Structure 1
Amino acid sequence: MNEQESVQGLFIVGGRIKSKVTLADRHILQDHLSNLLQVHNLVVLLGSGASFHLGSPQTRNLNNEKVVELIGNAGGSVNDADRALLKLVNPGDNGDLERLLNALQLASALTIHTQGGTVTLGEGAAAKTFNVDALEALRHKIGSALVEACKLPGKADDVDEDYRTDPLRAHRTFISRMVRSRRSNLPRPRIFTTNYDLVIERALDELGYPYVDGFSGTVERRLNLSFYGLDFHRIDTSTQKVIARADGALYVHKIHGSLNWRARTERDRITGVESLEVHQVADGTPSGDDRVLIYPTTAKEGDTLAFPYSDLMRQLGDSVQQDDTAILAVGYGFADPHINRILLRSLAVNPALNVLVVDPFAVLEPSVMAEILESDDVVGKRLDADDRKTKGTAVSALAQAADARIAVLTGDAGKFTVFADLMPDPSLGDAVASPRTVSELIESLELIGRKTTAKTLAEDGFSA
C-alpha cells in the first residue's frame, strides 16, 4: 500500500489543515489525542454516527416510502389513510423524520386546541380531513418503529460486514484505549450520549469495566442522580481499608433517555406524596407513554426542561465548565440546539476548554475532499482557501473557526470504526486484556488446578 492509498482524511485545527491522516502522518493526530486524553476533565459526546456501522437508523434521507419501510420492519402496518396523511404532511418527500414527526404533532395539537376533533390538510381537491386518532396513530407507529430500529446491532444486512461476528469491537476499542490512556490519578471520563441504544452499556459489560449510569438498586433499578457522585475503589477484604481506585471505571449519561427506561408515577409510602420515577427495565422495552425518550422533533428542546433530562443536561453543563477540560464529540452532528448552546457558551467563557469533533462527511463534498487529499501543498493552509467550497453545516463552521482550541477530524478517518483504531494505544503490543478477560483466565487456571489435584489424588488412591 502506498502513502496515497493510505490517506484516511484531514485533521484541521483552528481553521487550518494541520495534516492529512496517513500511515506516515497519523502520529500528528495521535499526539493531539494523547494530550486531550490527559486533561483533567474528559467529556465524550457520542451521537448516532457512532452506531451507523451497527445499523443505527437515519432520521434524514428518508422519503415517505422509507418511512413506510421503517414501520414495516418494526412489525407495524400502514393503511391507505396513513399513506395519504404522509403525503400531505410531507408533500416535498424531503425525508426529514424530525420535521415529519413535528408536523404530525402540530396537527394533532391543533385538533385538540380547536376542540373540533378533526383537521383538514392540503388545498383544493387534494384536501383531506383527518381526526386526531388517525394523526396520533401514525405518530405512534413512527415512534415505535424508530425505537425498534434503535435496538442494535440491527439485522445482519444492516450491519457492516466487518462487524457482523463481533459487533461491539469498535466500541470496546474506543472505550478501552480512552480509559487506559489516562493517568490513574485523573477524574473518571464522562460519556454523554444522545443515543437510545444500549451499545455503550453492552461494550462496557464485555470489557468488564465498572460504570455509574445514575441508577441505584439491583432488582429494582431506579434513577438516582446522586449516584454520579460515587466512585469505585479496591479494598482489602480483611481490613476494609482502601487500597486504590478501581481501574477502568467511568460515568455514562444518556441525556435523551434510553430504550430500557420506563417512567412511572409513584406514591411515597411515608408522606403519600406522588412523584415521577424512572426505572430500568430488564425484561424488554417499555411501550407508548411509558418510554423515557426525547423523540427527534422540534419540541425536543422543550422536552429537556422536564425530569430527568433537565438534570442530565445540567450535568453536561457543569462538566464542560471545569478547568482543563476537553470535549471529544464523535458521531454528533450538532443538530440539537439545546446541546449546542451549552457547548458554545462554554467555549466562550472557558479558555481552558478544548474540542475535537469527529465527523466523516459534514465538512466537505466528496469531490472537494478528493481534490484536497490529492494536493501536495494544503497542509498549513486554511480549509476555505482558494475559494474552496465547504458544506453549510455546523461541523463545517467549526472546522473553519479560527480558534486553536477547536479541532475537526473528517474524511474516512472520521468514521467511528476507523477513529477507534486511530486512538492512541498505550499498550506495548496487542490490546491489554480487560478485567473480564483476566478473570476468565484466572477461572480457567483454577479449573486446571482442580483437575490436576483430582488426578493426583486418584493416582494416590484417594477420591476427590
Structure 2
Amino acid sequence: MSELPTAPESEYQLIGPSEEGTVSDLLSGLSPKDGRQRLQALIAEWLRMENLVVLTGAGTSVSSGGKTMVELEKAVLAAVKAMAKCPATIKVIIDARTADKSTEKTGFEDWLSYLVNASYIGTATRSPFGGVIWKGEASPSVLELAWLVKEAGKVIFAECALSLPSTGAVSSTAIAPQLAFLAKLVARDSNLGRAHLFTLNYDTLFEQALELLGIQYFDGFTGRADARFDPSVYGLDIYYPGEIAEGRVRRFDKFLHFYKLHGSIHWQVRGDELRARHPDLSDYVKYATLDPVAKAKMIEELGDKIPSVGVLPTANKFAQTLSMPFAHLFRAFQIRMSAPQTFVLVLGYGFGDDHVTKIIETALMNPSLVLLVVEPNPNSPTIARIRGYKELGKRAFVLTASAPAFKKGAYQKSTFDDFARAIMPDVQWLDDFLRLRRFEKQIKASNGPDDQPANGSA
C-alpha cells in the first residue's frame, strides 16, 4: 500500500515564545493557507496596538536598485579609486580598506566618520592640529582626506539617487513595495497613535511613495521650497477643521511621522543650518548600469552639479552641535520604543549598527512591547539573536522563510516586497488608488504620449 503524500506546510516560520514559554515556530504543522491566515491575524492584532514603530534598513530598497551597506561601500570605493584625480595616497588607503577581511573591521559609516574627523581637525581655523598620522603605509595630507570625503559623498549620492519604479497600476501585488507598505501602514484606526517610521536609508524612495499616495508626513523639517530642520514639528498633528467634519475636529487619517536616522541625499548643511531640498534624480537613472570607470567619469563630468552627501551619521563629531539632527532623531527613536503598548516592526535591517541595536535591546525591557523582525534568510545570525531576546522580554518574534521554501527559492519569502504586498492585511483605499492610476493612464493614452515624470514614478 503506497503512502499518502505529505501535506505541504507553511512557507513561513514565525519564531517566538509559545504559550508554554519556549521558543518555537508558531506556524509549525499548519498548511500554507492556515499558516498565512494565522500570520496575518497576528500581524493585524499587533498593528492595532496603541503605538506603532517601524524601523527599515537597506534591505527595503534592494528591489528598487538599492544596495546593502557592504555593496554600497564596494561601489563607492571602486568609483573613487577610478577617478582621474584620485591621489596615490588615497588609492593606497582604499586598497588597504578593500583588502581588510577581518571580522573586527570598522563599519563603512564609522570609517567615513574617522575620515571626516581627521580632515576637520587638520583644516579647521581654530584647530591646534595640523594633521593626523595615518596607520599603514600611506601618509595622506588633510587636503587629500578632504578630497576623499567630498568625492565619496558625491558617489554615495549617485548610488542612492533611486527613483521609485513604475506602479504598473495592475494590482496591489505588483506595485512598488513602498506604495503597498505605506498604504497599509496608515490604514489602521486613526484613533490609535500615529505610525512612526524610522529609516536608515539615504535614498528618498519612501518620500516619493508618500507623495504619490497623498500621505501627509512630518520629517523634522519646516518649509517647502527650502526646508529647515526643526524637530518641534514632530509634536504636531493634522486635523480636519470642525466646520467640515460635522462640527467637530477629526484627525486626518493618511498621516505619519518620518525619521531618517542616518541622514538623506537631499539634506545639505548651509552655514550653521541643516536644509532639505529634493533634487532632480533624472540624471542618475543610468548610473547604476555603469562600471566603476564610467561611474567615475560621470561624477567628474557632473562636477559640482552633483551634491555631496553633506551629512553622514556620526560624522564630523567635532564640528556637530546640538542643532544637528542625529541627537534629536535617535532620542525620538528611543522615546518611541519605550512607550507603553508598542509594536515594533523591523524590515531590511541586519542588526549591523551597534547604536541602533542597543536601543532595540534596551527597549525590550518594556514589558508591553512586541518586536517583529522580518528576515528572509532562515540561516541568518539574526535568527539566533532574536531567540536570545526571549530572556529579556519574551515578546520578540522573527518572521522568516521555511527551510523548504528558502531552498525552493532563496530570498523570495519574508522579504520587504513579500511582506508589504502579500502578508500585510489588504486595504480598500489602495485598490481605489490603483483604479485611479489605471484611469489616468487610459486618459493619457487617449491624449497621446506625454513627458514622463523626472523620478520615473508614474
TM normalised by structure 1 equals 0.69
Deviation at 1:238, TM superposition (A): 7.2
- 1:261 aligned to which of 248, 263, 267: 267
Whether 1:401 aligns to 2:374 is: no
Where do residues 217-236 of structure 1 align in structure 2 (5 Å cutoff)?
A: 217-235=223-241
Query: Quick check: 1:337 aligned with 2:354?
Result: yes
Work out the CA distance in 1 between the residues paired with 2:247 and 2:439: 27
Q: 2:185 maps to which residue?
A: 178
Equivalent residue number for residue 369 of structure 1? none
> Contact 2:87–2:144 (CA<8 Å) still a contact in 1?
no
Shift of the 100–253 alpha-carbon distance from structure 1 to 2, 3 Å rule, reads: closer
Partner of residue 364, structure 1: 379
For residues 267-306 of structure 1, the aligned pairs below 5 Å read: 276-283=272-279, 291-295=309-313
Q: Give the corresponding residue for 2:20.
A: none
Give 1:50 deviation, angstroms.
0.7
- The counterpart of 1:319, out of the listed 324, 336, 340, is 336
Give the structure 2 partner of residue 86 of structure 1.
94
Pairing 1:50–2:60 present: yes
Structure 2 CA distance for partners of 1:142 and 1:4, relative to 1, 3 Å: farther
Change (3 A) 1:100 1:439: closer
In 2, the alpha carbon distance for the partners of 1:41 and 1:153 equals 30
CA separation in 2, counterparts of 1:188 and 1:417?
A: 23
Contact 1:264 1:290 in 2 (8 A): no
Letter in 2 for 1:405: R
Q: Which residue of 2 aligns with 1:433?
A: 432
Q: 1:39 aligns with which of 26, 37, 49?
A: 49
Query: Pick from 307, 316, 334: which aligns with 2:324?
Result: 307
Structure 1 residue 364, shift from structure 2 partner: 0.9
Q: Does 1:352 pair with 2:368? A: yes
Between structures 1 and 2, the one with greater strand share:
1
Partner of 1:208: 214
Aligned ranges for residues 100-179 of structure 1 at < 5 Å? Answer: 101=112, 104=115, 117=131, 119=133, 122=136, 127-153=137-163, 169-179=176-186
Residue type of the partner of 2:367? P
Report how far residue 253 of structure 1 moved: 1.3
8 Å Cα contact 2:157-2:307 kept in structure 1: no
Which residue of 192, 197, 200 corresponds with 1:191? 197
CA distance in 2, matches of 1:11, 1:419: 13
TM-score, structure 2 as length reference: 0.70
User: Are the counterparts in 2 of residues 76 and 145 from structure 1 also a CA contact under 8 Å?
Assistant: no
1:41 Cα offset (Å)? 0.5
2:196 and 2:339 map into 1 onto residues whose CA distance is 13
- Please give the root-mean-square deviation of Cα atoms over the aligned residues, in Å: 4.3
Q: Residue 423 of structure 2 corresponds to which residue in structure 1?
A: 423
Distance 1:151 1:295 in 2: 18
Deviation at 1:310, TM superposition (A): 0.8
Per the alignment, residue 458 of structure 1 pairs with none
Closer, same or farther: CA 227–129 of 1 in aligned 2, 3 Å: closer
| Deviation sequence 1:378-433 (CA, Å, 0-9, x none) | xxxxxxxxxxxxx3x5x5311343253000012343211111123332447x9432
Deviation, 1:244, is 2.6
Question: What do the CA deviations read for 1:5-37 (whole angstroms, capped 9, x no partner)?
Answer: 885432111332222693441122212211110
Counterpart-to-counterpart distance in 2, 1:302 and 1:70? 27
State the shift of 1:76 in Å: 7.8
3-state DSSP of counterpart to 2:346: strand
CA drift of 1:198 comes to 0.9
> Which stretch has the larger CA shift, 276-285 or 144-153?
276-285
Per-residue deviation, 1:105? 5.3
Cα distance in structure 2, aligned partners of 1:325 and 1:438? 34
How many residue pairs were aligned?
388
Which secondary structure state, in structure 2, belongs to the residue aligned with residue 313 of structure 1? helix
Structure with higher Rg: it is 1
Q: Structure 2 unaligned runs (5+)?
A: 18-22, 282-303, 402-410, 444-458
CA change 1:287–1:45 in 2 (3 A) is: farther
Report the residue type matching 2:418 in the other structure.
V
Whether the aligned pair in 1 keeps the contact of 2:27 and 2:35 (CA below 8 Å) is yes
Cα distance in 2 for residues equivalent to 1:397 and 1:121:
34
Give the conservation status (yes or no) of the 8 Å contact 1:63–1:93. no
CA pair 23-293 structure 1, distance change in 2 beyond 3 A? farther
